[in-house]
Amino acid sequence: MGKTLVIVGGQWGDEGKGKIVDLLTENAQMVCRYNGGNNAGHTVVIGSSMFKFHLIPSGILHKGTMNVLGNGVVIDPQVLLQEIDQLSSNGISISEKNLVLSGSAHVIQQSHIDEDTKKGKAIGTTGRGIGPCYEDKISRSGIRLHDFVKGSSLEAKRLKPFVKETYIIVNDAHSKKQNILLEGAQGTLLDIDHGTYPYVTSSNPIAGGACTGLGIAPQSIDGVLGVFKAYCTRVGSGPFPTELGTEADTMKEKKETLLQKTDFKSAEDGSEYSQGMILRKQGAEYGTTTGRPRRTGWFDIVSARYAFVINGMTGLIITKLDVLSKLKKIKVCIGYDYEGKTISTFPLDGEVLKKCRPIYKEFAGWKDSLETIKSYDDLPKEAKSYLLFIEKELKIPLAILSVGPERTQTLILKKNLLF
């Protein structure tokens, strides 16, 4: 009996979806991207090799898996071809046997990139032309792959064999009871309808986006796995209630600067900037797509619960727990203070969210590195109580725990929620 599972980001993107998709693809016959474009950046680490994907689904490293870019995706032909060539030069051959593109996907053009570069600064967009391309799609003036590949450019000729009626391919696989992964890019809080508008991306990363972005029916979906970091990050502008320290443009430290003992001391003494910097450094929180330092903060139960509801999550995946090691105290936001009142539901009015101050519950940290942990029982007791609290608050069973970037640094805890 096959299953169709959605992998969705529960925060502001970069939750580690790529690693999880790669891992789960071992048991999947098909992986489909349903939204976004090359604003996404997914890093997959296997042994000493590191792969970075922007458009091609993170399942491509597994032989025999079909990868699909659905109609909901926007495609920059040059970027896609570069990615195909790079994979080929790494010995992973790409053809229409393992990659198909929906003809209804819209094409990013140079004019979109130019417009995004000019206008996207206030939002802090990735500058890849994503917003302007979706604008043309919605105003019915865009160019779809169907038409693009009728042209005579080299890109058009090279991409033509990949263009198919992907809705047939996806629904056939479902009828044949194959295991299918539907891979969302970005995260719930960046959703154009349900995120922190206007500081959002221009597509629907939420689980519902899988239906519109691929042409698959809601009842064909068997489960939704929500991926969360053990803390929070955000790239670009917009409200971030649990943010520690400052926004990206005023961050002082460089990527190369190493953490000092004094940083841990000032974090213990209560410096939020140092706490945020430790998360950024230990988590290597610099964007895959733009190299920008990611803003960092504590785990936020209020927004996570919202993400759970909006997506109908059936299983919880927590990544990067290892990054919290060595911190003496760890905090989780359990509510917001808004003008003296406590609120526990996520406000969608940006003016309200901006003024929300986090109410924290504090946890004891742990010293040991978690990178070699092989079973849940081996986790420090402090880490277990931290996880248990999140799991209980969100009321979703923890299906996977990730304790390092490598495929092997993963604990599968609830196999029945997976394939």
Instruction: Report, in Å, the least distance between residue 141 CB and ligand GDP.
Output: 30
Torsional class of 63: left (φ above 0), alpha (ψ -120 to 50), beta (otherwise): beta
Q: Work out the end-to-end distance of the chain between its first and last CA atoms, rounded to an integer number of angstroms.
A: 10
Binding mask of the shown chain, residues 113 to 152, with x at each position contacting ligand IMO by CB under 6 A:
----------xxxx-x-xx---------------------
242 closest CA partner among 310, 319, 303, 321: 303
Query: Residue 320, Cβ neighbours under 10 Å: how many?
Result: 25
Helical (H) or strand (E) element with 261: helix 261-268
Q: Which two tokens stand for residue 249?
A: 């443009």
Distance CA 131, CA 200 (A): 10
Please pick, from the candidates 25, 35, 102, 202, the single residue that binds ligand IMO as defined by CB under 6 A.
202
Binding mask of the shown chain, residues 19 to 58, with x at each position contacting ligand IMO by CB under 6 A:
--------------------xxxx----------------
Q: What is the DSSP letter of 362?
A: E
Residue 344 or 372 with smaller CB distance to ligand GDP: 372
Encoded amino acid at 266, one letter: S
Which residues are CB-contacts of 344 (< 8 A; sequence separation ≥ 6)? 302, 305, 334, 335, 336
Distance CA 309, CA 303 (A): 10
Distance CA 138, CA 144 (A): 12
- Whether the CA torsion 225, 231, 236, 237 is positive or negative: it is positive
Residue 356 or 413 with smaller CB distance to ligand GDP: 413
Burial of 198 (0-12, 13-18, 19+ CB in 10 A): exposed
Q: Which residue is nearest to ligand IMO (CB)?
A: 236
Burial of 138 (0-12, 13-18, 19+ CB in 10 A): exposed
Please pick, from the candidates 8, 10, 13, 277, the single residue that binds ligand IMO as defined by CB under 6 A.
13
Q: Which two tokens stand for residue 400?
A: 């996977």
Residue 13 or 215 with smaller CB distance to ligand IMO: 13
> Does 81 engage in binding with ligand IMO (CB under 6 A)?
no
Residues 166-185 that bind ligand IMO (CB under 6 A): 185
14 is annotated as an active-site residue: yes
What is the distance of C-alpha 292 from the center of its chain?
16
Q: Which two tokens stand for residue 235?
A: 């790239």
Residue 39 or 319 with smaller CB distance to ligand IMO: 39
In DSSP terms, 33 is beta-bridged to 69, 183
Please pick, from the candidates 3, 7, 9, 216, the single residue that binds ligand IMO as defined by CB under 6 A.
9
> Does 190 engage in binding with ligand IMO (CB under 6 A)?
yes
Tell me which residues touch ligand GDP (CB under 6 A).
9, 13-19, 41-43, 45, 283, 288, 319-320, 322-323, 402-405
**Segment near ligand IMO (CB under 6 A), from 6-14, 74-82, 138-146, 322-330?**
6-14
Residue 5 binding result from Mg ion, ligand IMO, ligand GDP, none, given CB thresholds of 5 to 8 Å by partner type:
none
Instruction: Report, in Å, the least distance between residue 149 CB and ligand GDP.
Output: 28
Among residues 22, 42, 106, 174, the one annotated as catalytic is 42
22 is annotated as an active-site residue: no
Residue 221 binding result from Mg ion, ligand IMO, ligand GDP, none, given CB thresholds of 5 to 8 Å by partner type:
none
Instruction: Report, in Å, the least distance between residue 124 CB and ligand IMO.
Output: 4
Instruction: Report, in Å, the least distance between residue 72 CB and ligand IMO.
Output: 13
The number of residues that bind ligand IMO (CB under 6 A) is 23
Please pick, from the candidates 6, 14, 195, 251, the single residue that binds Mg ion as defined by CB under 5 A.
14
Number of helices and strands (H, E) in the chain?
13, 20
Which residues are CB-contacts of 176 (< 8 A; sequence separation ≥ 6)? 2
Q: Which residues bind Mg ion (CB under 5 A)?
A: 14, 41, 288
Positions in the binding site for ligand IMO (CB under 6 A): 9, 12-14, 39-42, 123-126, 128, 130-131, 185-187, 190, 201-202, 235-236
Residues classed as catalytic: 14, 42
